[in-house]
Structure 1
Amino acid sequence: MLDLEIVPERSLGCDAWEFVLGMHFSQSVAIIQSQVGTIRGVQVLYSDQNPLSVNLVINMPQDGIRLIFDPVAQRLKVIEIYNMKLVKLRYSGMCFNSPEISPSIEQVEHCFGATHPGLYDSQRHLFALNFRGLSFYFPVDSKFEPGYAHGLGSLQFPNGGSPVVSRTTIYYGSQHQASSTGAGAGGAPLPELPLSCYRHTLHLRRCDVLRSASATHGLRLHMFTEGPGRLEAGSRSVCRVVRFGSSAQRVCAALGAPARTYYKADDKMRIHRPTARRRPPPASDYFFNYFTLGLDVLFDARTHQVKKFVLHTNYPGHYNFNMYHRCEFELTVQPDKCEAHSLVESVGAVVITAYSKWEVVSRALRVAERPVVLNRASSTNTTNPFGSTFCYGYQDMIFEVMSNNYIASITLYQPEGTRPRYAVNSIA
């Protein structure tokens, strides 16, 4: 049984780890993965067809805990303890819920102090005691009428008839009404990313794709990270530009060291070539993976210059879900001119974001070509439970589209004939 400490308006955890309001989904998953054997039977709940309107939820049924994430920002907004019998709970070191201690109204008031009068829902027969950032819900028998004793917001019950807490929610601010419906708590306010979750990395606010009429030149990244010193308790903003042709050193200077470097696999058909035995194996192109930016940068193995950018949207149900944070990009595309009956039809620019649906984008861009079906399989599992995705090429872009019509990733590349011989010397 987990023995956890509640911090109202902030967190639920212990000395080794804690779930903090505002933390990213991937950081919560990393905590759970580090507690294999202690936290078991975890479920991830999401809507495949409406991933932006239905909360993203991590359910831990063996511990009676539910973590509710904002579906757009993918950060933790409500912590719900829905089965009090499966967990021990403390506040400021004082235990108020355990197999030996029943979380009655008197016990809660003794541990947390007085509060303003509680709220009674006569339709659901539910009584709530609300503190800032914390609410307790008590099921009440319909035969008891609400009446307040000594101004503490308690119902008057006969001896031994006081109800016990059935559910506890931790949230940000004082909007307890917005958090009173559990997994449907869509109106709960979302705090900023806590400083404890920065972890000395850059996080993305916005990514502007720099383009001319029909060609991509680079990215302008608006980022934030910790303040420069311990005395500055806050974040600082950083803006950098990376372009096609930039060297690996200049990308590192602009974005910092990558979270991981990935080398593309060798061509497996090379063994069948006549010259395969006489030539040494070619060097491999390599990626800089920036997971908290939702970005991959591909470098040419020979020139060590940028030749591709991959922007990830991190939708649940995709093969790479939870590997990257969502890249909040804005891409403005000028559609190709359409010639019909010797007349040139002018079409306005199309703005594409991480939340655009492909059916709208393809209609505006008039993408006619058939997609390439992309099948992924891991080394340990030959099947992909999420199914295939579909890749559409347009100008110097490749759109990877999921079956629900949301864009999973966009690859921006520089055609072979337009690559510069030398690195671009501007990073800002």
Structure 2
Amino acid sequence: MTANVRQDLGASLHAILTRLKSQPQLYPQIYLAYSTAEPVLDPIVLNLPANGLRLRFDGPDQRLRLIEIIDFSKSSFTYKSQDLVRRTGNSNEVVSDPVPGPSFKHLYNRLFGPSYPGEYIPPSSGESQGTYVLSWPGLAARFAIKHKSWSEKADFVSLLSSSVASPATSLAIFSGSSWPEARESLYTKRPQLPRSLALASKSAETVPDEIEEVVIHGNGRLELFRRASSSFMIGLNETTPQDLVAELGPPDAIFRKSGNGLSIHAGGASSKPRRPSMSPGLDPHLGDHDQSSAKSYTDDSENEISNIEEAQDDESTSEAFYNYFHHGFDVLVSTPQSKRSPNADTSADFVVTKVFLHSNIPGSYSFNRHRRSRWRIALDDNGQSRELTSQMRFKEISDVLKEVWHSSYRDAEEEKRMQRGMVLNRGWGVGDSPESSIELLGGFEEGPASQDQGSIKAGTEASMPNMSNTELFGFPGLLFEVLKNDTISCLTVYQHEI
């Protein structure tokens, strides 16, 4: 394997996993380590032991921040057509025996060129070797050095060229002028490259701009902020399917409901009728398409919304879910309110009536079906502006919304009844893991970090809470699907004044 991975920095976790899963021969083992307590805030680590790679993503946006080569024997790596590690025989041949990393002279003379002095990290108690980290723009290498040979006055070029230093033990790829500068904002600085691998490799004129954030305003209006172009407003019961395609591109898949039937359209696949009560995401007979996440579970949420909303629809006309997996949300397109009520005014046959914003929480049933969607709820409570975000715990959001809507309930009993969570089980009829080709390691703990990298201690799946059972909590215009660790798996927005 020849790695040219720098252009992947900034890509979404969903995009990277989708690509890796599409090539099981190249990437036979995929291990995902994350915090079950803080899956939205703490970093996510993707280990590829068969390839000698480790990828680190930030938690809030799930974007690739750091690529580490930790085993040079697993793959063949090149830099500007030069082998990173000198090999005998076929340079593309992957060997099973340990291969030492590139020497300092090879990196310095043939690949990256001169560098400023790096950082020396003394060894832990009882160990004889320290670590020297040398960095170039976007690259950093680690070398083991005999501690007794280290001196602040030593010339690092002579030291790393001598026998007291080993070849590089690992190589890091990041965005920044140097590793000391980059690590200060490794998980917080806005990446230069987009989340979408298609946008990173093609002209923006041929690929729809990606959505950075969704802001939920009152009265059924959602503003979609884009990476490089102006924002786009979705008005519930106003925006048409044609508007969606013009602004967001064609959906990755369409699940169409007609009466009691359900059919799927994705990537030109032929329509197949489904059992009337089966959600597309829960149907065990529904296979994956070229998108790893060409499944949706919005039909179940739609059924639950009907139990919470005061007005229920009895119509049997066509409805369709537009699935935008790469944008991180689904859209329900159905008959506008004007066809059911004289209070609304629109001449369109079908309009957007609900939007489903997915959080892509590791360990949840819906993991890796969509990329993570970041959102904000803009509240204007008696002239006081407040914002609720997708990074917040549901309890924090619930406390604010309970305060905002307290006066709208007839009595305490109605308030208690409307705010009671309903249990939704998404795990029946599926495998133990949300994505069978990915091993999820929950409950990792970040060990004491050295100056160049932290150490990950992964837990086991037995330590993970049951993420297939979720609870649904409704507020006017909003429906939250909440996991056992109080993180929000999906936010559904439907027509109601906030």
Q: TM-score, normalised by structure 2?
A: 0.65
Q: Which amino acid aligns with 1:370?
A: R
Residue 426 of structure 2 corresponds to 376
- The superposition leaves residues 230-282 of structure 1 with CA deviations (integer Å, 9 ceiling, x where unpaired) of xxxxx43343333324332333334332222112446449xxxxxxxxxxx95
- The superposition leaves residues 220-239 of structure 1 with CA deviations (integer Å, 9 ceiling, x where unpaired) of 22223xxxxxxxxxx43343
C-alpha separation between the residues in 1 aligned to 2:78 and 2:18?
24
Following superposition of structure 1 onto structure 2, how do residues 282-301 of structure 1 map, counting pairs within 5 Å?
283-300=317-334
Matched, 1:85 2:73: yes
Residue 481 of structure 2 corresponds to 400
Q: Which amino acid aligns with 1:134?
A: L
Deviation at 1:283, TM superposition (A): 4.8
C-alpha separation between the residues in 2 aligned to 1:55 and 1:187?
8
Q: Which amino acid aligns with 1:196?
A: A
Structure 1 residues 61, 254: CA separation in 2 closer, same or farther (over 3 Å shift)?
closer
User: Which of 205, 218, 221 is matched with 1:218 structurally?
Assistant: 221
User: Which of 360, 367, 378 is matched with 1:321 structurally?
Assistant: 367
Structure 1 residues 57, 356: CA separation in 2 closer, same or farther (over 3 Å shift)?
same
Structure 1 residues 145, 219: CA separation in 2 closer, same or farther (over 3 Å shift)?
closer
User: Which of 254, 261, 277 is matched with 1:261 structurally?
Assistant: 254
C-alpha separation between the residues in 2 aligned to 1:413 and 1:189?
33
User: Which of 169, 177, 180 is matched with 1:177 structurally?
Assistant: 180
Check the 8 A contact 1:202/1:293 in 2, yes or no.
no
Residue 107 of structure 1 corresponds to 106
Q: Secondary structure at the match of 1:35?
A: coil
Check the 8 A contact 1:201/1:292 in 2, yes or no.
no
Following superposition of structure 1 onto structure 2, how do residues 140-155 of structure 1 map, counting pairs within 5 Å?
140-146=145-151, 153-155=157-159
C-alpha separation between the residues in 2 aligned to 1:177 and 1:188?
15
Deviation at 1:407, TM superposition (A): 1.6
User: Which of 365, 381, 390 is matched with 2:471 structurally?
Assistant: 390
- The superposition leaves residues 79-125 of structure 1 with CA deviations (integer Å, 9 ceiling, x where unpaired) of 11112232322222111315548522222222222222233223451
Residue 424 of structure 1 corresponds to none
Residue 171 of structure 2 corresponds to 168
Following superposition of structure 1 onto structure 2, how do residues 50-129 of structure 1 map, counting pairs within 5 Å?
50-98=38-86, 100=88, 102=100, 103-111=102-110, 112-123=112-123, 125-129=130-134
Deviation at 1:387, TM superposition (A): 2.2
Q: TM-score, normalised by structure 1?
A: 0.74
Check the 8 A contact 1:171/1:188 in 2, yes or no.
no
Q: Which amino acid aligns with 1:50?
A: E
Structure 1 residues 93, 205: CA separation in 2 closer, same or farther (over 3 Å shift)?
same
Q: What is the identity percentage for the equivalent residue pairs of Structure 1 and Structure 2?
A: 25
Q: Which residues of structure 1 form unaligned runs of 5+?
A: 6-10, 13-18, 225-234, 270-280, 336-345, 419-428
- The superposition leaves residues 291-331 of structure 1 with CA deviations (integer Å, 9 ceiling, x where unpaired) of 23322211226842322121222222222222223333222
Check the 8 A contact 1:248/1:304 in 2, yes or no.
yes
Aligned-residue RMSD, C-alpha: 3.3
Structure 1 residues 53, 96: CA separation in 2 closer, same or farther (over 3 Å shift)?
same
Residue 29 of structure 1 corresponds to 17
C-alpha separation between the residues in 1 aligned to 2:424 and 2:104?
56
Residue 357 of structure 1 corresponds to 393
C-alpha separation between the residues in 1 aligned to 2:146 and 2:15?
41
Q: Which amino acid aligns with 1:144?
A: S
Q: Which amino acid aligns with 1:305?
A: V
C-alpha separation between the residues in 2 aligned to 1:291 and 1:383?
20
Q: Secondary structure at the match of 2:244?
A: helix
Deviates more, 1:392-401 or 1:318-327: 318-327
Deviation at 1:49, TM superposition (A): 1.1
Check the 8 A contact 1:240/1:255 in 2, yes or no.
no
Residue 492 of structure 2 corresponds to 411
Deviation at 1:177, TM superposition (A): 2.4
User: Which of 186, 195, 215 is matched with 1:208 structurally?
Assistant: 215
Q: Which amino acid aligns with 1:306?
A: V
- The superposition leaves residues 324-383 of structure 1 with CA deviations (integer Å, 9 ceiling, x where unpaired) of 233332223578xxxxxxxxxx89675322122111222233363321111114765388
Check the 8 A contact 2:149/2:164 in 1, yes or no.
no
Q: Secondary structure at the match of 2:166?
A: coil
Structure 1 residues 394, 165: CA separation in 2 closer, same or farther (over 3 Å shift)?
same
Q: Secondary structure at the match of 1:67?
A: strand
Q: Which amino acid aligns with 1:327?
A: S
Residue 341 of structure 1 corresponds to none
Check the 8 A contact 2:221/2:233 in 1, yes or no.
no
Aligned residues: 364
C-alpha separation between the residues in 1 aligned to 2:81 and 2:393?
49
Deviation at 1:50, TM superposition (A): 0.9
Q: Which amino acid aligns with 1:312?
A: H
C-alpha separation between the residues in 2 aligned to 1:53 and 1:411?
22
Residue 307 of structure 1 corresponds to 353
C-alpha separation between the residues in 1 aligned to 2:188 and 2:350?
47
Q: Secondary structure at the match of 1:140?
A: strand
Structure 1 residues 405, 154: CA separation in 2 closer, same or farther (over 3 Å shift)?
farther
Q: Secondary structure at the match of 1:143?
A: helix
Residue 136 of structure 2 corresponds to 131
Structure 1 residues 40, 179: CA separation in 2 closer, same or farther (over 3 Å shift)?
farther
The structure having more radius of gyration, on CA atoms, is 1
Deviation at 1:51, TM superposition (A): 1.8
Check the 8 A contact 2:41/2:391 in 1, yes or no.
no
Residue 192 of structure 1 corresponds to 192
Residue 8 of structure 1 corresponds to none
C-alpha separation between the residues in 2 aligned to 1:36 and 1:91?
25
**Which one has a larger percent strand, Structure 1 or Structure 2?**
1
Check the 8 A contact 1:65/1:83 in 2, yes or no.
yes
C-alpha separation between the residues in 2 aligned to 1:51 and 1:154?
44
C-alpha separation between the residues in 2 aligned to 1:36 and 1:110?
36
Following superposition of structure 1 onto structure 2, how do residues 270-281 of structure 1 map, counting pairs within 5 Å?
none
Q: Which residues of structure 2 form unaligned runs of 5+?
A: 89-98, 125-129, 263-274, 279-314, 340-348, 403-414, 435-465
Q: Which amino acid aligns with 1:375?
A: N
